[in-house]
């Protein structure tokens, strides 16, 4: 049911965030409603804990939280949609989205097997390096893509 709703609306977290700056704001309102309903359900079940402290598997290293989520957002923009949107598009038969989803699965497996993932104790040194390398790669790839689009046709 959720997949059908996401498919019908074309919902994407990246597009919702972009609507802060331009375009119609219906997807942004949908994202805010999603967060609000989640907060209400979490509160009703006694599972709501505001902030990073007291969360399962969450750490309070705010810099690395922000940099890691920056990497997720940037790569989502480069891939044409957030991870949720990629899963929905893969379910619709989009081959590029399927490859992106497989990359998420393989990347997650590698991160766990190479001990790059963070824990409640904080971010790992290897994870920090991986985030910085990922950001550098994504920025270079994005700039190269922009340069390629701006080149005049011969």
As for how many domains the chain has, the answer is: 2
Which of residues 56 and 122 earns the better pLDDT score? 122
**Same-domain pairing of 41 and 59:** no
**Same-domain pairing of 71 and 39:** no
Is 75 buried (19+), middle (13-18) or exposed (0-12) by CB count in 10 A?
Answer: buried
Residue 11 token pair: 């919902």
Host domain of residue 38? 1-48
Give 62-87 pLDDT, tens digit per residue.
899 999 999 998 998 888 888 888 99
Which of residues 145 and 30 earns the better pLDDT score? 145
**Same-domain pairing of 39 and 74:** no
**Same-domain pairing of 6 and 20:** yes
Of 106-110, 115-119, 139-143, the poorest mean pLDDT is in 115-119
Residue 64 token pair: 């690395």
List CB contacts of 40: < 8 A, sequence separation 6 or more. none
Residues in the chain: 154
| Residue 117: closest CA among 102, 129, 103, 133 | 129
Cβ 78 vs Cβ 72: under 8 Å: no
Which H/E stretch holds residue 87? Answer: helix 83-91
CA separation for the pair 24, 148 (Å, rounded): 29
Q: For the whole prediction, is pTM greater than 0.85? A: no
Residue 122 token pair: 């904080």
Is 12 buried (19+), middle (13-18) or exposed (0-12) by CB count in 10 A?
Answer: buried
Asked whether residue 153 carries a pLDDT value surpassing 70, the answer given is no
Compute the chain's Rg from CA coordinates: 18
The count of other CB atoms within 10 Å of the CB of residue 50 is 10
**Same-domain pairing of 123 and 56:** yes
């Amino acid at each position: 049911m959720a997949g059908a709703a996401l498919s019908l609306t074309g919902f994407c977290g990246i597009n919702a965030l972009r609507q802060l700056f331009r375009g119609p704001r219906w997807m942004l309102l949908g994202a805010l409603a999603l967060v609000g309903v989640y907060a209400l359900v979490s509160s009703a079940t006694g599972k709501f804990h505001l902030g990073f402290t007291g969360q399962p598997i969450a750490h309070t290293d705010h810099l690395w939280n922000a940099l890691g989520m920056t990497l997720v957002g940037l790569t989502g923009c480069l891939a044409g949609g957030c991870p949720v949107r990629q899963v929905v598009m893969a379910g619709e038969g989009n081959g590029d989205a399927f490859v992106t989803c497989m990359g998420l699965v393989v990347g997650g497996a590698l991160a766990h097997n190479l001990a790059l993932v963070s824990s409640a104790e904080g971010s790992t040194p290897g994870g920090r390096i991986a985030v910085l390398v990922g950001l550098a790669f994504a920025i270079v790839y994005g700039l190269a893509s922009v340069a390629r689009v701006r080149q005049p046709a011969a």
